Structure 1
Amino acid sequence: MTQQLMTLSDRISYLTPVGPTDRPILMSVSGDRHTLMIDGGNSKAHAELFLEKLKDEGKPLPDLTAVTHWHWDHSFGLAALSIPSIASEDTKKAMKELINFSWDDAALDERVASGVEIQFCADAIREEFKEHRDIKVVLPSITFKDELTVDLGGVTCVLKQVGSDHAKDSTVVYVKEEKLLFLGDVTAPLMYAPVWHFTAEETLKLLDQLDQFDADTYVISHYKPISKAEYQQEAALLRKAAALVTEHRGDLDQMKTGLSTFYNRPLIEDEIDILIYFANGVPEKA
Structure 2
Amino acid sequence: MEQKLISLSKAISYLTPVGPTDRPILMSVSGDRHTLMIDGGNSEAHAKLFLEKLHEAGKPQPTLAAVTHWHWDHVFGLSALSVPVISSVDTRREMEKLAVYSWDDAALDQRVNEGIEIPFCANAIREEFPGERDMTIVLPDITFEDELTIDLGGLTCVLKQVGGDHAPDGIVVYIKEERVLFLADAIVPDLYAPSWRFTARETLSLLDKIEAFDAQTYVISHWKAITRQEYVKEADLLRTLAFLVSEHEGDLDHILKELEAHKGEPLEMEEAETADYFVNGYRD
TM-score (norm: length of structure 1):
0.98
Amino acid at match of 1:281: G
Runs of 4+ aligned residues of structure 1 deviating over 2 Å after TM superposition are: none
Alignment partner, residue 51 of structure 1: 51
Deviations 1:23-57 (A, max 9, x none): 00000000000000000000100000000110111
Deviations 1:199-224 (A, max 9, x none): 00000000001110000000000000
In 2, Cα distance between the equivalents of 1:88 and 1:31?
A: 22
Alignment of 1:105-254 (within 5 A): 105-254=105-254
Alignment partner, residue 35 of structure 2: 35
Task: Report if aligned partners of 2:245, 2:278 keep a CA contact under 8 Å in 1.
Answer: yes
Amino acid at match of 1:10: K
**Secondary structure of the residue that 2:53 maps to in structure 1?**
helix
In 2, Cα distance between the equivalents of 1:55 and 1:130?
A: 27
Question: Alpha-carbon deviation of 1:134?
Answer: 2.1
In 2, Cα distance between the equivalents of 1:180 and 1:7?
A: 12
Alignment of 1:53-68 (within 5 A): 53-68=53-68
In 2, Cα distance between the equivalents of 1:264 and 1:87?
A: 42
Amino acid at match of 1:205: S
In 2, Cα distance between the equivalents of 1:267 and 1:232?
A: 17
Alignment partner, residue 268 of structure 1: 268
Amino acid at match of 1:220: I
In 1, Cα distance between the equivalents of 2:49 and 2:8?
A: 19
Residue range with higher mean Cα deviation, 222-231 or 130-139: 130-139
Task: Report if aligned partners of 2:31, 2:155 keep a CA contact under 8 Å in 1.
Answer: yes
In 2, Cα distance between the equivalents of 1:265 and 1:227?
A: 22
**Secondary structure of the residue that 1:281 maps to in structure 2?**
helix
TM-score (norm: length of structure 2):
0.99
1:84 aligns with 2:105: no
**Secondary structure of the residue that 2:149 maps to in structure 1?**
strand
Task: Report if aligned partners of 2:252, 2:279 keep a CA contact under 8 Å in 1.
Answer: yes
**Secondary structure of the residue that 2:86 maps to in structure 1?**
strand
In 1, Cα distance between the equivalents of 2:220 and 2:28?
A: 15
**Secondary structure of the residue that 1:123 maps to in structure 2?**
helix
Aligned length: 284
1:24 aligns with 2:24: yes
In 2, Cα distance between the equivalents of 1:100 and 1:208?
A: 36
Question: Alpha-carbon deviation of 1:136?
Answer: 1.1
In 2, Cα distance between the equivalents of 1:278 and 1:73?
A: 25
In 2, Cα distance between the equivalents of 1:46 and 1:134?
A: 15
In 2, Cα distance between the equivalents of 1:95 and 1:174?
A: 23
Question: Alpha-carbon deviation of 1:264?
Answer: 1.8
In 2, Cα distance between the equivalents of 1:56 and 1:264?
A: 48
Amino acid at match of 2:267: L
Amino acid at match of 2:176: K
- In the alignment, structure 1 segments of 5+ residues that lack a partner are none
Question: Alpha-carbon deviation of 1:138?
Answer: 0.7
In 2, Cα distance between the equivalents of 1:154 and 1:133?
A: 41
Question: Alpha-carbon deviation of 1:135?
Answer: 1.0
**Secondary structure of the residue that 2:98 maps to in structure 1?**
coil
Question: Alpha-carbon deviation of 1:132?
Answer: 3.0
Aligned CA RMSD, in angstroms, stands at 0.6
Residue range with higher mean Cα deviation, 131-140 or 117-126: 131-140
Amino acid at match of 2:150: V
**Secondary structure of the residue that 2:267 maps to in structure 1?**
coil
Residue range with higher mean Cα deviation, 126-135 or 55-64: 126-135
In 1, Cα distance between the equivalents of 2:230 and 2:204?
A: 18
Amino acid at match of 2:131: E
